[in-house]
Structure 1
Amino acid sequence: MKNGKGDIIMKKENKAAESEPKPVALRERAEKIALEKALPENIDKISQAEVKRTIQELQVHQIELEMQNEELRLTQRELKASQARYLDLYDLAPVSYVTVSEKGLILEANLTAAALLGLPRSALVKQPLTRFIINEDQNIYYLHRKQLFETGAPQAFELRMVKKDETAFWAHLVATAAQDADGAPVCRVVLSDITEHKLAEEALIKSELKCRYILLNTPQIGISLDSDGKIIFVNDHFQKLTGWKAEEIIGQDWFDIFIPGKIREEIRNVFKAVMRQEDTAGHSTYENDIVIKNGELRLISWANVLTKDLQGKIIDVTCLGMDLTERIRNEEALRNSENKFRNISEYSLVGIYMIQDGIFSYVNSKFAEIFGYTIEECLNNMHFRQLVYPEDFDIVQEQVRKRATGEIQSVHYGFRGIKKTGELIHVEIFGSSIMLDGRPTVTGTMLDITMRKRAEQEKRNLEERLHNAEKMEVLGKLAGRVAHDLNNVLGVLSGYSELLTIRIPADNPLKEYAINIVQSSVKAAAIVEDLLTLTRRGVRVMEVAKVNKIIADLIATPEFDKLVAYHPSVIVRTDLAKDLLNISGSPVHLEKTVFNLVSNAVEAIAGGGKVIIKTENRYIDKAIEGSQTVAEGEYVVLTVSDTGKGIPASELKKIYEPFYTKKSMRRSGTGLGLAIVQGAVQDHDGYIDVQSTEGKGTTFTLYFPATREKAAAELQKTPMDQYTGRGETVLVVDDVKEQREVATTLFTQLGYSVNAVSSGEDAVEYLKSNKADILVLDMIMEPGIDGLDTYKLVLEINPLQKAVIVSGFSETDRSREAQKLGAGPYVKKPYMIETIGIAIRDELGRK
């Protein structure tokens, strides 16, 4: 059916069948032919048997002919059916069939071809096929038609054609040679509309070009492998990374060159499985090492894209890769850095913290330790406010805000913190800010500088002491000389006045005058003692004292009355604890201390106001403001507060400096008051704190160690007969004439036999030829040798010589050295008759 000859035969048989005569017509034609032929000459001579046999043969032949006719009719019917089927196949075939003459004219076309070209079959006949071929592609048609008729070889080609409505389409033509019914050469053409295929092919080409462009220009490395794993393309980035040039590796086996030996077969098997489409989804992305030209391993993350032909067969794979080597190294370095940070942080000697939105997001163990918390407690939604002393919170909050907003990058400052126990500490911050998880993060390191602050304070205190010592060096020398001289004068005054109190009868009004002179002498001696205290050359006369009684006695003095009278608008009140403990101290110095504080308080009030003197017992177990260390225990607390103008903060550090005063000279201001107060408190092993607010007032709080001992006033006064002499000889050695005279009178009154000399040299000469049961030896005598040198020379005369040391100066190393040599007690000038009498009596009784 596929050749032209067969088609021609079918057409001839079809025509014969159409012109076949009916049986009657055939009979008539046969008879006519028979009549035209002559009968045999011997027909009459034919025997009956021959006739019978001939008739039988004719009958057989007739039957044979009838059978042949029947077979012929069946064949004709089959031929008609086959022709109908062929015509159906030809006309209704899904492809277009066209028969073209040698001159290029369309002889026949099936229905599909007519529909494709947009014309009825009748309109296609005798039309040149080139009418439907685009001019630019007609040469393709002529060339293939020429080769067909010249060689007879089938031709297959593609060109662009146009329909009646001028719609262009791509066609695939398969041409074969044939002959028509007359034997003339014709061309059988099969037309297929391949427009969609061609468009898909063009799209594929564009896609491939686009992919190739992307591969060439992508910042990633790119390669293409064929289905056998041969390299068919590499981009510039791949060449730069690996060190290989494209011409060196194109066509080479990818696995042999680039895949490390230990994983080569594994990767090759994965590739083969993908090519067989057994596991394409599972390996669209993949990571593996490759070996570059210098032998270094690089870890690559691949994204694989498969290319398939129109039949869906994988023809190559394109791989885009990202070099993870540096990232992995960076991640490893980051992990190492994090580990180092963690180790440094956890074992750091400084606190490390991070704050986000005011809440701690990280703290190390040292930070938690500084404040006495656990790390878990710090990270349990703790706000930094919780760790900051309230008065410093505004400063810290502002520093945190500036870093969080990027206003500043780094800070260095300090503030006071609060530990979990409530203890106050000093910390120092070195801070900065970073972005963490997209959020501004305030971070920094923290040092607990509490001990350093204490050391700095101690250093400042020492520097201030040194400064004061240097500033008062001249004052000290002057005060020492003045005190010595004044004490000698006061010694005469107090000595004679005390003798008057002894000798004047009790009912004589002059006795009260003598008593007042004695008391004034004692207070004058206390003033001298203040000078010596100020220069740290004073004697600490300690006894059990009642602070409440000292305050009561002060209020009863004329000086206090004068102070109150001078400030009538100021009310002075007392709030004294009834069960107040005693302290060990000097009542005279304590009274002076209270008076100085009350005097300052009263004079600080302009117009009306109040001054409150308060005492209480208190147990102290933590630091007192203004003091770095404090001994735990019971304290008597004395508070003097006023509602005056207050002390400016800038002045608070200066108030204890000698000669510092804001008072006018006409109002008792000498500048020594608070310096003496501080010195007295320190001499009593106490602490002092001052709190002041401008416009509201000032409060001084003094802490004195308490004692459970009874006060001296509660003990019986020593009767005079217990310290009077029994005729023992006393040698008074003093360079001041008046002091020698009053001493001689006092000791004579006590029942001693008294002699006096004016120098150490005279004492040595006297003792060479005379004896004395005891010496009353002045330590400082001018000119000549002092008390120590005198005593040394006396010991050469009498190694057992007893002596009592007296001086208007503070107790010195030289007086203590004399005591080590055997001298007795030290008695401060001016001395009272009871004090010196007991000292002499005790020394005489000492064995």
Structure 2
Amino acid sequence: MKKSPDKPLDAGKLRLRAEERLQRRRPARAAQPTPIDAARLVHELQVHQIELEMQNEELQQERARVEVLAARYTELYDFAPVGYFSLDREGVIRQANLRGARLLGLDRSNLMQQRFGLFVAESDRPAFSAFLQKEFAGAGAQSCELGLCKGGDASMWVRIEATASEDGQECRAVVLDLSERRQAEAQARAAVVETQRLLALSERSRRALLSAAEDQEAATRALRDSEQRFRGLVEQSLTGIYISQDGAFLYANPRLEEVLGYRPGELVGVRADDIVIAEDLPIMQAKREALRAGATTSNYEVRARRKDGAIIELGVQGRVLESRGVKTTIGMAQDITEKKRAEEEIQRHIARLKAAFAGTVDVTMRMSEMRDPYTAGHERRVSEIAAAIGAELGLEAQATEGLRVAGQLHDVGKIAVPAEILAKPGKLSAIELRLIREHPQAGYDVLAGVEFPWPVAQVALQHHERMDGSGYPQGLKGEAILLEARIMAVADVVEAMSSHRPYRPGLGIGKALAEIERGRGTAYDPAVADACLKLFREKEYALPA
């Protein structure tokens, strides 16, 4: 398309060009002589007509250019893979693109004039308010990560990056959905925009150009201003932005060039396959095939090689647009190398904490066993039996792990019972029996101050309760007893009856299972009892050594 001039043609030059065109149109043979005045008038009319034709040609060219630019800006803004918002000082939404409306679960028309904070998870609203105040206080570009409530559903994790407008009355924000990588917490950074207002300005400019020729200059100036601002928005973004077609870059903003170590313009024509390392190519190619099969968006992480040979981690989000039968991908790519390192360090730290926790539980269990050497290994065996019963009942791995921990600590209250009573070979007196029966409460008192992710203290308190209320120390019945405590009660009886005690030899697994079968539905939870019997009798589960 021809580039339109910055201002209308000079009147003198336009007349000279019109004169030349008129001379070319005149026939070779001169017309019959006419009066001089009439001839001059005809000549002037013809020249003026040609001037009007030439002006109309220029207007049509400018009009076509405006329509192409407006369509391009609309596609880039509304179909971007991130949400764009403009917020005022009170956090009220003034503008939003289609992606932003989808993130919040409402039509765009219903979002306007609503406070953005209403969509923020309640626990994160103070952080969002502080973030907004800091932005309007002139602290420069700000970013935060928080949860959003989508249409009243459960929260999704997003990253917001914003900056205040030049007049300080609006905050332009980019919202990036991080829900697929929520376990990693900190995610992508986004660019700050005011694209909706700029597109509206472009639309008004286009209509002005179409409505009257005399508005051409003003509309063209406004359009150029809009284009310059939009280009500044993309090229000054803190997030890498690209446009690709058939796997090759058509455009890459300065941030993406910086991330990959290329000079301005060098990425154009480069294929993504030549940047992503060979081991991760299947990941990208699978996402590409999904897009060809009809998917409209893709999110993935790959390792890429910078121009200088360094390997970095990239988080990529893309969206496919189709214009005039041609499919183009618009996407964002961000360097997540440090984030991945932080995630790996967090996982190592969690593993160390788990090991320390397991060691602490083991030490506590061994201290309890030292008080009662005749029952050494009882807590460990009960924990294994309880975990096996829990798995047989279909409990999740996290719950069975809780049973294992609770089993190791269920008799910790025996540290409050004199060792001579625990090791007494004969029958216990009433006072001694009462002291023994106080160990569930003592165990609860020891464990209640520890913040476990499972009801360990309650299991210690309730593992001698029975379904018919005949247990101790509270005489609880039925569903009032925790499921974990009901499982622990069965595991405790099976292990205790099968093993040796100071006052009797071991009775064996047969008599232990017979006791569970006898007390099914009265002393013991029927579902738990059935799971235990099936485990030993049908699946040939053996007592832990």
TM class, shorter-chain normalised? Answer: 0.3 to 0.5
Higher relative contact order (CA 8 A, sep 6+): 2
Structure with a larger share of its residues in helix: 2
So what's the TM-score if we normalise by structure 1?
0.26
So what's the TM-score if we normalise by structure 2?
0.38
